[in-house]
Amino acid sequence: MGEWSSRVIPIVRGLCLLYVTHKYLGTTVVTYGPSMLPTLGITGNVLLMERISTRTGKLRPGDVVFFRSPENPRRVVCKRLVGMEGDQVTYVVDPKNSDKCNTIVVQKGHVWVEGDNIYNTKDSRNFGAVPYGLVEGKAFWTLLPRKDFGSLAPKPK
């Protein structure tokens, strides 16, 4: 082995470790926008997201999850998991204009997600249940802003 390869091999191993960690274990995610107020801020939060729960089937209603948007697969969206496959979910159809509610049963292989700020969010009420395969991970820790550092807050009442 030459001097060149003795320098490159540790770098390649480090990059491989970073890739595997990001792809299969977890990563940091930056969120912004009003849909998860008051749990997450409008100007941005930095969260830790783990990917293990999605692979092991350990997601539960109340978890904050990240998933590929069914409308634009280039976007990753953050919402609250409200219902799992087979769950009965009652939701307000148009909270800005009426109190009319619908009840559905989440179909097999899907989850129901909603933003905590029901007055300013685009969620399953708009695009329907999300295929489980689009769910990328679960948020479990807030890194920034510093005042929110720690485990993610439970769903507001």
Choosing from 6, 23, 35, 151, the catalytic residue is 35
> pTM to 2 decimals?
0.88
Transcribe 93-109 into DSSP letters: S-TTT---EEEEEPPTT
Q: What pLDDT score does 119 carry?
A: 93
Q: What pLDDT score does 3 carry?
A: 79
Domain boundaries, the chain: 27-145
Say if domain 27-145 classifies as CATH 3.40.50.720. Answer: no
Q: Which residues contact 54 (CB under 8 A, 6 or more apart)?
A: 65, 132, 135, 136, 137, 138
Q: Tokens representing 28?
A: 């940091």
Q: What pLDDT score does 154 carry?
A: 64
Q: Does the active-site annotation cover 155?
A: no
Question: Which stretches of the chain drop beneath a pLDDT of 70?
Answer: 1-2, 153-154, 156-157
Question: In the block, which residue shows the tokens 């729960």?
Answer: 53
Q: Does the active-site annotation cover 35?
A: yes
Chain segment 44-63, per-residue pLDDT in tens: 899 999 999 999 999 999 99
